[in-house]
Structure 1
Amino acid sequence: MTRSRGLAAVRLVSGLLAASMLVVACSSDDGGAESAGEPVTLTYWSWAPNIEKIVEVWNESHPDIQVRVNTSTGGDEIVAKLTAADQAGDLPDLSNTTYQDLPALIISEIAADVTDIMGDREDETAAPAWTMTTLDGVNYAVPQGTSPMFLFYRTDVFAEHGLPVPTTWEQYAQVARDLHAADPSVYLSTFPANDAQLFAGLAQQAGASWWSVDGEGGWSVDMNDDASRQVADFWEGLVAEDVVATMKTYTPEWQAALADGTLASMIGAVWTPPILANNAPDTVGSWAAVPLPQWDPADPASGVLGGSATIVTTGTDHPEEAREFALWLNTSDEALNAYIEHASIWPAALSGRELPELQGATALMPEQADFYRTAAQIDEVTVPVTWGPNVPAAFDSFTNHFSAAVSARSGFADALAQVQADTVADLERAGYEVSE
């Protein structure tokens, strides 16, 4: 998928979502006020690490607008919990959301229009984050960060076996074979059936666009396209050859494999270094990071692996104060400094990337001073992505069907076709018109 075709898809989905949200911008502006002389208190839902410490910075400098943080809701359940709160008439004033969940929150009229604070900030915002939060010229969230994808690899293991750092997926496959042949106890990586988000990012890099709008009120779903099948076939081949592991990510087995050298690389994102440092502290100083291998080096591309934003909900009684906090939280030097210190954020606000803490190396890779410069370059080739309204259902289907395919070491194409069918059926049950 070229960048221009991706932008066209974003604009197409924008028209539908914006049309359904014309009433959102002012839906809460007539809410009640606090008693005279008392501070306004906002409730903010977030799962970001150490978010309380970041909010403390705001509360200390804004005595008239205090923010109370609720961290009981995780990113994988935010849509369900916000939907339930909306039905109960008890939405928080603000909430963290993943980019992939934002369309569902827009369609359900939970995410409010924040164009008045974000509309003039396109030149100040990283392009991948802007396209995922701005629909048909209407802004529905303040972007928090972006997630440029990297290949992290063990420099000591590669040096020991004389392995080149792969720049293409063909080279990556050969390195996987050569490494496992040289040391059968070591794998280049794992193919995790529980990580649909990772597969989606790799498919996007190859040119896939899983959701798009079809007409007015309908969706097109294309998870079984040529690009996605190319990625599925590639990994099925490596799994069938037994030259990559099949352990699931973010499990004790996976953590142990990173720590003891069973896994010599990891496909991750800009936020990965602290995870590796925490899970494999003895390997600090033995990692390096490069952009993903490419299918076509002449046309470099990258996908999306995570990322969050802040929404102001349509249920707030204090929309002006909520928007002020959301903008401060994601664009001010004070907040971004705290985020970088406590949550390892790579800011979507371009000004934040100039902060001193992001000019050097990470603790994991003290010799790689260009890590954040490389992250900025990867952002430039990250394809625009359109997420659909039922990402959680699609990802659940992926885990179910690819777990079976991984166990059988075959059938990845059939699993992908089933994910397509399940995703379409889920949309149809929700009342959408769907084409394939």
Structure 2
Amino acid sequence: MATRRTRLGVLTGALAASALVLAGCSGSQQDEGSVVLEYWSWAPNIEQVVAVWNEANPDIQVEVNTAVAGAEITAKLLAAAEAGNLPDVSNTTYDNLPSLIINDIAADVTDVMGDREAQTAGPAWNLTTFGGVNYAVPQGTSPQMLFYRTDVFAEHGIEAPTTWDEYAQAARTIHAADPDTYLATFPANDAQLFAALSQQAGAQWWSQSGDAWSVDIASDASDRVADYWEGLVDEGVVATMKTYTPEWQAALADGTLVSWLGAVWTPPLIEQNAPETAGLWQAVALPQWTPDAPAAGVMGGSGTIVTTQSDHPEQAREFALWLNTSDEALNAYIQYANIWPAALSGRDLDGLAEPPSFMANQPDFYDLAAQIDEYTVEVTWGPNVAAGFDTFNNAFSDAIANGTPFRDALETVETSVVSDLETLGYTIE
């Protein structure tokens, strides 16, 4: 398939322009007396982390709103910005940050982050810094992992797959032994997963060189991934239920699904949905296309923004920095949410010497995360990731429902992404 090459106006130029506007919005000082900050987050157990701050800072209290899921938070923030009721602070995934900057939601936080480059993981710094301006305090990176049920694999005499061919064979073996059991699901609603798997295969969906942007979603690398999963779906050896749905939650709990292509943050989510399976899961590196040249995609990763509508931007920046760089917060995050810190000092904390409690049988869990982090690819996200991911969800849902080629769905996504950029006012040559 032909690759569509596009030239867009420089994202950093747009971001720099909005920075001038934001600078005027974020300079006010707090009034005398106690301050209450509203914080939006989807992180599991985030209340326990924030409780550490609230206990130590009686004059700056933080109220957590966890009603917004990670996949929905950008749309909710855009709606809140329009209504004039943004929270003071919010989580955001790295892929959605450019959209929040362009829409004047994420404020400049350079005054608390500008001198921390040497103390921050390089990929996380690059994903939160545009034109020399910091727009989020990086929280963590997300080494991608395969989680699998050791008891089921042992029952069928299967070793953890190290290649995608072995993974496909494991799917066939498990489903043949029990037609109600699947190695995995191909979730049409998880564009982030497909993007990460495509990155592992060598794809870059958005890229930039100077003022030139390229959109290459329907690439050879992405097609390889699409063909692979379409084959497993057509064979019927993987399910097609969507992740984070009640059906999917039940499938994890009852053993219908016996693995998950997740990341370092996955254990607490499995624990929430299948607590009785504690000790039965193992994490390994992703299966590889080329074992001699291992690679992993970017499966998530997030940071904390201060919004442009905060009435207390100074206190909000102080909290955002503490949340992602202090030993107290990072130890709590490691304990309750299994993050792999973007702050390099956090990777030496004692909390990482022990595995997640749900996976106490795997003492090398964080050593594995460090190894995978070394060969995780660098990624550039474009300014309209949310729109592209929405189109992905619709296109792949239709492909599964109608039995149409996954490659065609990728072409649909690419065409929509370019059209959306035109609608947003970018110059495309």
TM-score calculated relative to the size of structure 1 = 0.88
Could you tell me which residue of structure 2 aligns to residue 5 of structure 1? none
Matches of residues 188-337 of structure 1 in structure 2 within 5 Å? 188-213=183-208, 216=211, 219-337=213-331
Q: Distance in 2 between matches of 1:244 and 1:13?
A: 41
Q: List per-residue Cα deviations over 1:225-277 (Å, max 9, x = no partner).
A: 11111110111111112222222222233223223333222111111112222
Q: Which of residues 396, 411, 416 in structure 2 aligns to 1:417?
A: 411
Could you tell me which residue of structure 2 aligns to residue 3 of structure 1? none
Could you tell me which residue of structure 1 aligns to residue 114 of structure 2? 119
Q: Distance in 2 between matches of 1:29 and 1:181?
A: 60
Q: Distance in 2 between matches of 1:59 and 1:163?
A: 48
Tell me the CA shift for residue 395 of structure 1. Answer: 1.6
Q: Which of residues 125, 129, 133 in structure 1 aligns to 2:128?
A: 133
Q: Distance in 2 between matches of 1:401 and 1:27?
A: 41
Q: Which of residues 38, 47, 51 in structure 2 aligns to 1:43?
A: 38
Q: List per-residue Cα deviations over 1:353-385 (Å, max 9, x = no partner).
A: 333332112233222100111112211211122
The one-letter amino acid paired with 1:19 is A
- Per mean C-alpha deviation after superposition, the further-off stretch among 307-316 and 43-52 is 43-52
Q: List per-residue Cα deviations over 1:179-214 (Å, max 9, x = no partner).
A: 333443332211111211111111111111112347
Could you tell me which residue of structure 2 aligns to residue 86 of structure 1? 81
TM-score calculated relative to the size of structure 2 = 0.89
Tell me the CA shift for residue 434 of structure 1. Answer: 3.8
Q: Distance in 2 between matches of 1:403 and 1:95?
A: 30
RMSD: 2.5
For the residue of structure 1 that corresponds to 2:92, the secondary structure is strand
Q: List per-residue Cα deviations over 1:141-175 (Å, max 9, x = no partner).
A: 10112221111112122222222221111222222
- 2:376 corresponds to 1:382: yes
Give unpaired runs (5+ residues) of structure 2. Answer: 1-8
Q: Distance in 1 between matches of 2:200 and 2:394?
A: 23
**C-alpha spacing 1:270/1:337, structure 2 compared with 1 (3 Å):** same
- Per mean C-alpha deviation after superposition, the further-off stretch among 111-120 and 365-374 is 111-120
Q: Which of residues 393, 396, 402 in structure 1 aligns to 2:390?
A: 396
Tell me the CA shift for residue 290 of structure 1. Answer: 0.5
Could you tell me which residue of structure 1 aligns to residue 6 of structure 2? none
Q: Distance in 2 between matches of 1:208 and 1:33?
A: 46
Q: Which of residues 153, 168, 172 in structure 2 aligns to 1:173?
A: 168
Q: Distance in 1 between matches of 2:61 and 2:38?
A: 9
Tell me the CA shift for residue 14 of structure 1. Answer: 6.5
Tell me the CA shift for residue 422 of structure 1. Answer: 1.6
**C-alpha spacing 1:49/1:163, structure 2 compared with 1 (3 Å):** closer
For the residue of structure 1 that corresponds to 2:357, the secondary structure is coil
Identity %, equivalent residues: 65
Is the CA contact 1:54–1:339 (under 8 Å) kept in the aligned structure 2?
yes
Give unpaired runs (5+ residues) of structure 1. Answer: 1-11
Tell me the CA shift for residue 419 of structure 1. Answer: 1.2
Is the CA contact 1:126–1:379 (under 8 Å) kept in the aligned structure 2?
no
Tell me the CA shift for residue 410 of structure 1. Answer: 4.2
Is the CA contact 2:91–2:305 (under 8 Å) kept in the aligned structure 1?
yes
Is the CA contact 1:132–1:384 (under 8 Å) kept in the aligned structure 2?
no
Is the CA contact 1:30–1:317 (under 8 Å) kept in the aligned structure 2?
no
- 2:143 corresponds to 1:148: yes
Q: Which of residues 34, 43, 46 in structure 1 aligns to 2:31?
A: 34
Q: Which of residues 79, 89, 95 in structure 1 aligns to 2:90?
A: 95
**C-alpha spacing 1:13/1:141, structure 2 compared with 1 (3 Å):** farther
Q: Distance in 1 between matches of 2:191 and 2:393?
A: 7
Q: Distance in 2 between matches of 1:316 and 1:292?
A: 41
Tell me the CA shift for residue 72 of structure 1. Answer: 4.2
Q: List per-residue Cα deviations over 1:89-137 (Å, max 9, x = no partner).
A: 4443322212111001112232222223222323322333222112243
Could you tell me which residue of structure 1 aligns to residue 64 of structure 2? 69
**C-alpha spacing 1:281/1:317, structure 2 compared with 1 (3 Å):** closer
The one-letter amino acid paired with 1:125 is T
Q: Distance in 2 between matches of 1:74 and 1:182?
A: 36
Tell me the CA shift for residue 311 of structure 1. Answer: 1.0
Q: Distance in 1 between matches of 2:56 and 2:68?
A: 27
Is the CA contact 1:191–1:247 (under 8 Å) kept in the aligned structure 2?
yes
Is the CA contact 1:239–1:409 (under 8 Å) kept in the aligned structure 2?
no
The one-letter amino acid paired with 1:360 is E
**C-alpha spacing 1:224/1:319, structure 2 compared with 1 (3 Å):** same
For the residue of structure 2 that corresponds to 1:163, the secondary structure is coil
Is the CA contact 1:206–1:228 (under 8 Å) kept in the aligned structure 2?
yes
Is the CA contact 1:219–1:432 (under 8 Å) kept in the aligned structure 2?
no
For the residue of structure 2 that corresponds to 1:316, the secondary structure is coil
The one-letter amino acid paired with 2:121 is A
